[in-house]
Amino acid sequence: MKPISGIITTLNEENNIEAVIRSLQQVCDEVIVVDSLSSDRTVAIAEACGAIVVKHAYLGDGIQKNLALDHVKNKWVLSLDADERLTPEMVDYINTLDLDNTKYDGFAFRRRNYIGSRWVRCCGWYPDWLVRLFRHDKLRFRETKQHSGIPETNTLRVKADIIHYSYRRIADLFAKPGRDFSTRSAKIIYQSGRKVHAWTPFLHGAGSFLSNYFIKGGILGGIDGLTLAMSKSLNSYLKYAKVIEWQRDPKVREEEDFDKIW
């Protein structure tokens, strides 16, 4: 193992946490888990696997991941989400790196996104480049509350993959955007004070479908491509529809907890 600190942010990931820690331990000499006050066995399993666990209420994607950086002992950091795994090719590549003498501040890898056991490559899901191995004294996550990432500044793109078990089945493509992603995005928009108009949900929803199905190749992806394009469209539509509802309906707005981002 190299002097690399693996970091994971979690919330109720008891079904994933051991596998992702074991994946990181192939190349990392420590693993830090920042847990957002899970109510399941995530923390106990992580500690049993040898990870250092830091408990903190969820602050948003980039903010939470940067919090993990405050607890690492190494200069180099490898970040994974709980539903991601390293491929053997990525492990081999990292093990051959001379991190003390490299001219790069970070390395970007391709991400394979799966529905069930199916690798879906359309709708922008592959190669889906992401900087995941980086010097934290040079690079940090963007301080955004959703879909944060490391900027590709003085980084190298490596032809090795991360596996991402995005969804267990097609049904989750529609359950998850409605339950989680669209609400979180809507809260971020609403709290910014941005005004949303009656036609905004339709335009964004329609634009998302056309972009993902035709421009990003969903039409070539069969039923998975069509379903993914429809799911992304629904997520975009609901995001703005929820903002409009909060703008117009005081009763619904009062019942929503805007301090709870996720």
Tens of pLDDT, residues 194-234: 989 999 999 999 999 999 999 999 999 999 999 999 999 99
Task: Give the range of the structural domain holding residue 247, as residue numbers without chain letter.
Answer: 170-255
pLDDT at 176: 67
User: Which candidate, 151, 152, 156, 132, places its Cα nearest to that of 76?
Assistant: 132
Percent of residues, the chain, with pLDDT higher than 90: 89
Q: What is the DSSP letter of 114?
A: E
Determine the angle formed by the axes of helices 222-248 and 200-210, rounding to 10 degrees: 170
Q: Is the same domain home to 82 and 153?
A: yes
Segment 166-185 shows an average pLDDT of 84
- pLDDT of 37 over the 60 cut: yes
Which of 157, 176, 167, 161 lies closest to 92 in space, CA to CA? 161
Are 121 and 99 contained in the same domain?
A: yes
Rounded to whole angstroms, the Cα distance separating 233 from 205 reads 4
Phi, psi for 26 (deg, rounded to 5): -70, -25
Same domain, yes or no: 120 and 180: no
The model's confidence at residue 179, banded by pLDDT at 50, 70 and 90, is low
- Mark out the alpha helices in 83-162 (DSSP H runs): 88-96
User: Quick one: average pLDDT of 69-80?
Assistant: 98
Residue 146 pLDDT: 84
- Same domain for 79 and 162, yes or no, is yes
Encoded tokens for 85: 């795994």
- Name the token pair of 241: 């529809």
Output the pLDDT for position 147: 87
What are the beta bridge partners of residue 159? Answer: none
Q: Same domain, yes or no, for 127 and 240?
A: no
Above pLDDT 70, what percent of the chain? Answer: 98
Asked if residue 260 belongs to a domain, the reply is no
pTM reported for the whole predicted model: 0.93
Residues 144 and 229 in one domain: no
Same domain (yes/no): 132, 25? yes
Mean pLDDT of the chain: 95
Domain assignment present for 261: no
How much is the pLDDT for 145? Answer: 86
The mean per-residue pLDDT over the stretch 56-68 comes to: 94
Q: How far apart are CA 124 and CA 189, in angstroms?
A: 23
pLDDT number for residue 71: 98
Domain count, the chain: 2
Distance CA 149, CA 152 (A): 9
Q: Flag whether pLDDT at 178 surpasses 70.
A: no
Residue 115 and residue 44 in one domain: yes
Residues 114 and 146 placed together within one structural domain of the fold: yes
Domain match, 13 and 34 both: yes
Mean of pLDDT values over 223-248: 96
Name the residue with tokens 């910014």: 192
Omega cis (within 30) before 127: yes
pLDDT at 110 over 70: yes
Tell me the chain's radius of gyration from C-alpha atoms. Answer: 19
At residue 175, the pLDDT reads 84
**Residue 228 placed within a domain:** yes
69 and 79 Cβ atoms separated by less than 8 Å: no
Average pLDDT, integer, range 145-174? 94
d(C-alpha 26, C-alpha 94), whole Å: 10
